[in-house]
Structure 1
Amino acid sequence: MYQYNEVDQTLVQERVEQFRDQTRRFLAGELPEDDFLALRLMNGLYIQRYAPMLRVAVPYGLMSSTQMRKLAHIARKYDKGYGHFTTRTNIQYNWPKLEEVPDILAELAEVQMHAIQTSGNCIRNTTTDEYAGINANEIEDPRPYCEIIRQWSTLHPEFAYLPRKFKIAVTGGPEDRAASQVHDIGLHIVRNDEGEVGFEVLVGGGLGRTPFIGKVVRSFLPKQHLLSYLDAILRVYNLNGRRDNKYKARIKILVDAMGVEAFSELVEAEWQSFGKDGQLTLTEAEIERAKSFFKPLDYDLSAANDTSLAQQLADDKAFNAWYERNTVAHKVDGYRAVVVSLKPLLKAPGDITDAQMDLVADLADQYSMGEIRSTHHQNLVLGEVKKSDLYALWKVLEANELARANVGTLTDMICCPGFDFCALANAKTINIAEQINQCFDDLDHLYDLGDIRLNMSGCINACGHHHVADIGILGVDKKGEDWYQITLGGSSKADARLGKVLGKAVAADDVAKTLQTVLSVYVENRTEEESFADTVQRLGIAPFKERVYAPVN
């Protein structure tokens, strides 16, 4: 993984001391609240419903065991003993004290971490596939390009005050596990007809109150032009994006209003006039330098010869279920990637305790070459585990509520913190997640239902990506009561699409019961081997709507 050089370390440490002084001045009454607002947001600090919330950057979801131990220490010392992983692969602390935030940032700097640009109207954390570098289907490892983007965008003076926040995702192959098509910019590594590797560039994706799927603005961009073309897109957006209405300030609104062709023409003109073949052109040496931080690890090639796994799978049904659901093929024979589930029964999705963080760090050192990945789906991944170590690893994870074999099922849900924490939320989400877990606690039933993506948001800002789930749940407020709107048929994968609203919102107590009704329609109508997503696409939502809202006799 990337290691800070002296310039990086100095920059981050100086930023900490700068914010320490800003915080001191604010607490002393020397800095007005409105002035401090922009400063704290640029350092990842929000004011939530009951306390500040600090969001720590995890660039492209990759952490060392040392960094994970520091995150555990911060949870213990400065918070209430846990953290929350987000869809952007960052971690949030929900209970820090404002006066202690500079101390937290100083401790993060000790392990090459920070909270810079995890909030504010700037370029946020660039995300990618949690299996980057170990996925046999990828054309190239996308992480070097994420790192190139990170270095270019961090504290970029021209893009520090954009019309609105800006998000970029990069994928390395045909699968899309980073929801790239609902980002402001989605970059797909592709190969053209001549065999050259470059990028397909999409612009204008996003969710919230006006959701859009991104549109292709360039079908093939040579990799040396990555930064200059991104720079052109950001310049066009910065000059033309709306600043009079924050609800219409995202680039998706600009692209929709102008039309993708007109927007693309502006970008092309900007790129040709001011950026192409200029200082931002990436040399092969620069690209190779970025790749050098993500070289293949020192794999034990003899691991492929171990035959113990087959017998362990045959002897232990629970282990077999976990292996099928929570491990993923690795490009190196003899290894698997392991998903550490942060979706235990009746616990908030995405939360992890300080003790669990320490444990994951220890397990990463013992079994996964010291590296941990966080995912868009609010889980963790140990990417480099020998097949011969899987059983021992599973036993430890199971003993510490980190091995629930539900990955990809209905209860492996994305869920924002909702009204329990967020000042913007309209409705609670964690209690609804618990209700769903209680209703669907039979793993055999979940396995029979197959892969189902359920995402839940506590407000229209859609931090839970409910628009692009097989089943989406949106919390709404009706005269002080929590109600929930259901959508069906969305996807954030390569076939990205927005779900359709099933009908009127249902009461809080009826959410799980409504899901039972929806899923009964699926079970009755599916063909052999047909997934929930396929059935919804074939039938449309009418049969589901008819059953859910049928009159009660």
Structure 2
Amino acid sequence: MYQYDQYDHLIVRERIAQYRDQVRRRLADELTEAEFVPLRLQNGLYMQRHAYMLRIAVPYGLLASKQMRMFAHIARKYDRGYGHFTTRQNIQFNWVELEQTPDILTDLASVEMHAIQTSGNCIRNTTSDPYAGVAADEIIDPRPYAEVLRQWSTFHPEFIALPRKFKVAINGAVEDRAAIAIHDIGLTVVRNDAGEIGFKFMAGGGMGRTPIIGSVIRDFLPWQHLLTYTEAVMRVYNQYGRRDNKYKARIKILLKAIGAEEFARQVEAEWADLKDGPETLTVEEMQRIIDYFQPPAYKQLDDSDVVAAQDGNKAFANWVNRNVKPHKQPGYAAVVLSLKKPGVPPGDATAEQMDFMADLADRYSFGELRVTHEQNVVLADVEQSQLYALWQEAKAHQLATPNIGLLTDMICCPGGDFCSLANAKSLPIAASIAERFENIDFQHDIGEIELNISGCINACGHHHVGSIGVLGVDKDGSEWYQVSIGGAQGNNAAIGKIIGPSFSAQQMPEVIDRLLQVYLRERFEDESFADCAQRLGVAPFKQFVYATPIAEKGGRLVGEDEYV
């Protein structure tokens, strides 16, 4: 993985020194809160409902074991013993004290980490495929290009005060596992007819108040021009993006206003002055970065039937089926450590679990971990012969729930329990649904489904692209929940459609139950929930959900007119 060079160390060291003095001045009332806000946001510090929250960057989701141990240290020393992994492949600590934050950043710098570009109107932390470098369907490893984007964008003088925050995702495989279509810029590695590497370039995707799937503005961009073309996009957005209304300031609004074709024309015109300029990538520069991402020292192994070797152990077989992913190197597998055990807020990990995951990485996966945007953690390079031993250890630390891709593998933001922007709590909704559907055999019968929950329209829980999406809304000072169906991420990304009026918190488990009943009754063989919902439309789901009143205290529907 990438190691800091002298420039990285200098940037981070100087930023910490600046920030330490800014905190000192704020605590001495030499800075007002209004003056301090943009300064703290440049360092990932938010003021939440109850305390300050610090968001730490995990570039393209990649962590060394020593960095995960640093998270455990921060959780113990500065927080309340846990952290929250986010849909941006970052980690948040929700209970930090302002006066301690410079010390946290100093501790992070000791393991080559920081909180730069995790907030504010800048180019945010670039995200990517958590299986980058090991996926069987990979065209090329996208991480070196993500790293180039990180280096280029960090404190870029033109783009530190954009109209609004700006998010970039990059995918290097046939299957999109980086949700590129819902990002301001989404990049997919492709080959042209001559076999040359380049990028399909999408722009204008996003969620929030106006969810939009991004538009392809260039089918093939040679890799050498990744930075110059991206800069052209940023210049057009920086010049014409709205600054009078933050709700209409994202690049997606600009593309919607002028059209993708006109936007692409303006980018091409801007690019004409940048193409082949000093930011054009060279073979030598890319090779310098690629060298940091060389494969580890794999053994020469053959693939094995790890389930058969355990005499039909059903629990182990379930885990292998859901949590173990294919690897391009024979004899190896990628393992997902589930942070979605029912009863625990999705994405949360204790300090003890973080230390343990670091230990697992050292023993089983060359000291490396990945954070997924589904809020789980991946060990990317596990020998298949060691899967059973790993499973036993992970199970003992509540990290082996066999639910990856299933109903209880929910995406969920912190919601109203923490976030000052939230209209409603999201964690209790996740907990009540997980309790209702905890039976793992029933989850397997349902099959793969994405249930995404957001506490407000900012959509940090990606509810727009959930098979079932839940959005917290405010109705006359009360918390209610709007439900959408048919959303999807990946190669066939789609925005879900709202089924109708919102529901109370107590009604939500029954609402999910009714939606599932329609799906189980109407689905074709091997048809996913999202595909079924898109084929049928909202009407049959809406009719069944609203057919009879849903009891406020719950109660399972057994017929159109009867409850038990």
* Paired position in structure 2 for 1:193: 193
In structure 2, the residue matched to 1:53 is: 53
Partner of 2:272, secondary structure, is helix
Q: 1:381 aligns with which of 378, 381, 388?
A: 378
Cα distance, 1:306 vs. partner?
6.0
Look up the match of 1:353: 350
Partners of 1:349 and 1:415 within 8 A in 2: yes
Distance 1:313 1:525, change over 3 A: farther
Equivalence for 1:258: 258
**Aligned AA for 1:87?**
T
Q: How does 1:48-447 map to 2 (within 5 A)?
A: 48-273=48-273, 275-302=274-301, 304=302, 309-447=306-444
1:16 equivalent in structure 2:
16
Q: Name the SS for the 2:325 alignment partner.
A: strand
1:523 corresponds in structure 2 to: 520
* 1:481 CA displacement: 1.8
Deviation at 1:214, TM superposition (A): 0.3
Instruction: Indicate if the aligned counterparts of 1:314 and 1:320 stay in contact, CA closer than 8 A.
Output: no
Deviation, 1:32, is 2.1
In the alignment, the residues of structure 2 paired with residue 467 and residue 100 of structure 1 have an alpha-carbon distance, to the nearest angstrom, of 37
Structure 2 segments unaligned to the other structure (5+ residues): 550-560
Q: In the aligned structure 2, how far is the partner of 1:163 from the partner of 1:306?
A: 53
Q: 1:310 deviation in Å? A: 4.0
Aligned equivalents of 2:434, 2:316: Cα separation in 1: 21
SS in 2 for 1:506: coil
The one-letter amino acid of 2:100's match is E
* Aligned match of 2:487: 490
Deviation at 1:104, TM superposition (A): 0.0
Q: TM-score, normalised by structure 1?
A: 0.98
1:305 deviation in Å?
6.6
Cα shift readout 1:500-519 (whole Å, capped 9, x = no counterpart)? 00111011101010110010
CA, structure 1 residues 97+550, in 2 after alignment: closer, same or farther (shift >3 Å)?
same
Equivalent position SS for 2:491: coil
For 2:446, which of 449, 453, 468 is the aligned residue?
Answer: 449
Cα distance, 1:220 vs. partner? 0.4
Distance in 2, Cα, partners of 1:305 & 1:173: 22
What is the letter of the counterpart of residue 74 of structure 1?
A: I
Structure 1 residues 305 and 251 mapped into 2: Cα distance closer, same or farther (>3 Å)?
closer
Give the 3-state SS of the residue equivalent to 2:293 in structure 1. coil
Q: Distance in 1 between matches of 2:525 and 2:270?
A: 52
Instruction: Give yes or no for contact 2:468–2:487 (8 Å, CA) kept in 1.
Output: yes
Partner Cα distance (1:482, 1:391) in 2: 44
**Between Structure 1 and Structure 2, how many residues are aligned?**
550
Shift of residue 194, structure 1, vs aligned partner: 1.8
Counterpart-to-counterpart distance in 2, 1:306 and 1:191 = 32
Rounded Cα–Cα distance in structure 2 between residues aligned with 1:62 and 1:379: 12
Structure 1 runs (4+) greater than 4 angstroms displaced:
none
The 1:446–1:305 alpha-carbon spacing in structure 2 relative to 1, beyond 3 Å, is closer
Q: State the TM-score, normalized to the length of structure 2.
A: 0.96
Q: Summarize deviations over 1:451-502 as a string: whole Å, max 9, x none.
A: 0011000001111010011000001111222111110001111101100001
Q: Deviations over 1:163-221 (max 9, x none)?
A: 00000000002211111100000001011122111000000000000111000110000
SS of residue in 1 equivalent to 2:452: strand
1:312·1:391 contact (CA, 8 Å) conserved in 2?
Answer: no
Unaligned residue ranges in structure 1 (runs of 5+)? none
Per-residue CA deviation, residues 100-153 of structure 1 (Å, 9 max, x unaligned), is 000000000000000011100000000001100001211100000000000000
**Following the alignment from structure 2 to structure 1, what is the Cα–Cα distance between the partners of residues 282 and 14?**
30
Q: Give the Å deviation of 1:390.
A: 0.5
Distance in 1 (CA, whole Å) between partners of 2:182 and 2:526 is: 28
Decide whether the 8 Å contact of 1:337 with 1:383 is kept in 2.
yes
The percent of aligned pairs where both chains have the same amino acid is 59
List per-residue Cα deviations over 1:508-536 (Å, max 9, x = no partner).
10101011001001111112222212211
Contact 1:184 / 1:204 at 8 angstroms: preserved in 2?
yes
Greater shift in the superposed pair: 6-15 or 330-339: 6-15
The alpha carbon displacement at 1:296 in A equals: 1.2
1:388 Cα deviation (Å)?
Answer: 0.7
The amino acid across from 1:277 in the alignment is: D
In the alignment, the residues of structure 2 paired with residue 372 and residue 442 of structure 1 have an alpha-carbon distance, to the nearest angstrom, of: 29
Q: Distance in 2 between matches of 1:464 and 1:177?
A: 16
Distance in 2 between residues matched to 1:281 and 1:462, nearest whole Å = 35
Moved more, 477-486 or 447-456: 477-486
Contact 1:57–1:90 (Cα < 8 Å) also in 2: yes
